[in-house]
Amino acid sequence: MSLPAVHRDPAMPERVTIYEVGARDGLQNEKGIIGLDTKLEFVQRLTAAGLPIVEATSFVHPKWVPQLADAADLVARLDLHGATPYPVLVPNERGLDRALDAGVTHVAIFGSATETFAQKNLNSTYEAQFAMFEPVVRRALDAGVQVRAYLSMCFGDPWEGEVALDRVVTAGKRLLDMGAYELSLGDTIGVGTAHHVEAMLDAFAAAGVPTGGVSTGSTGGGGEGSRIAMHFHDTYGQALANTYAALRRGVTTFDASAGGLGGCPYAKSATGNLATEDLVWMLDGLGVTHGVDLTALAQTSVWMAEQLGRPSPSAVVRALTAG
């Protein structure tokens, strides 16, 4: 397998954390139901490929996302106290109860920057979502469980159009202030472009939220580091350019999905996440350390594509495995 030549960019962080979302963001969007054994093997292969944190599933309402209705069964078969954390999505106290019963160590709440998406994704108003999350975060922290926060529709919303920066910053700060260790800014429908990313990060920095440096999260170094991660979907092919812009601003945590699986069943035109392999290829070329074995990862995505019956949309997976 070929690897990119390294041209180290001194403006880049030396190391980043790749937060793998394929088993959750990827599989929540599949038309068919994937079997439990396949999901387990996917998570285990991602772990073996060196992904430092692997989001495993969601404790959402099983009628809303039937693809992940087996969340408790999957979590029961994971090593929850090994080196790799397996966060799960939790929208409300009912989801938290289920997640705590399953013994998870990391949860993620997921808010919306817009009114319409809060209604469509959470059956809540924009304002009511914060009241829904507050006891989730408080009780999770009391139980010694780490809490990450997502914020969706940060770069545009299919129903409301452009989303103002100050709206995103206000919503994001409310989630961080509840006690989340990190805020992942979601370009749910992939409409963001590079300068928009820079402006977004500058707006958070101006509001006092550290956007660069080592993450304060479980896989980071602690201290005064970054509270921001980026979560790009690649709908318009902008995810890598946007990642590059965020790297130049010092961001050190990036969400990505093996093979480029993904989307959101409640967001029109949401397609795959930034493919983890595409991210790894670019980081390798930039000389940014990440700890992931690209060969093992690409083999995992090829295997998963066989399970799903269609090729991976990742350019790097296709290039590396072309006959």
Residues of this chain that interact with ligand HMG (CB under 6 A) are 25, 28, 58-61, 64-65, 89, 91-92, 94-95, 98, 110, 121-123, 150, 152, 186, 188, 231, 233, 264, 266
Which two three-digit tokens encode residue 198? 């820079």
Helix axes 126-142, 165-178, angle to 10 degrees: 30
Are 182 and 215 a contacting pair, CB within 8 Å?
A: yes
**Structure letter (DSSP) for residue 5:** P
**Structure letter (DSSP) for residue 4:** P
Quote the CA–CA distance of 123 and 98 in Å, as a whole number: 19
**What does the CA dihedral 174, 238, 320, 230 come to, rounded to 10 degrees?**
-10
Quote the CA–CA distance of 246 and 17 in Å, as a whole number: 13
The counts of H helices and E strands in the chain are: 11, 9
- Pick the binder of Mg ion from 13, 16, 18, 25 (CB under 5 A): 25
* 154 included as an active-site residue: no
Find the catalytic residue in 264, 286, 298, 304. Answer: 264
- 204 interface partner picked from ligand HMG, Mg ion, none, CB below 5 to 8 A per type: none
Quote the CA–CA distance of 220 and 252 in Å, as a whole number: 9
Q: Considering the complex, what minimum distance in angstroms separates the CB of residue 79 from Mg ion? A: 25
Residue nearest to ligand HMG (CB): 186
- 217 interface partner picked from Mg ion, ligand HMG, none, CB below 5 to 8 A per type: none
Residue 122 vs 279, nearer CB to ligand HMG: 122
Neighbours of 66 (CB within 10 A): 12
Q: Considering the complex, what minimum distance in angstroms separates the CB of residue 119 from ligand HMG? A: 9
Q: Considering the complex, what minimum distance in angstroms separates the CB of residue 322 from ligand HMG? A: 29
Q: Considering the complex, what minimum distance in angstroms separates the CB of residue 122 from ligand HMG? A: 5
| Interface segment toward Mg ion; rule CB under 5 A; list 20-28, 79-87, 215-223, 298-306 | 20-28
Tell me if 187 contacts Mg ion by CB under 5 A.
no
- 91 interface partner picked from Mg ion, ligand HMG, none, CB below 5 to 8 A per type: ligand HMG
Residue 15 vs 173, nearer CB to ligand HMG: 173
- 86 interface partner picked from Mg ion, ligand HMG, none, CB below 5 to 8 A per type: none
Quote the CA–CA distance of 215 and 141 in Å, as a whole number: 18
Quote the CA–CA distance of 114 and 154 in Å, as a whole number: 8
- 178 interface partner picked from Mg ion, ligand HMG, none, CB below 5 to 8 A per type: none
Is the C-alpha dihedral spanning 124, 269, 229, 26 positive or negative? Answer: positive
Task: List, by residue number, the catalytic residues.
Answer: 264
Which positions lie near Mg ion, rule CB under 5 A?
25
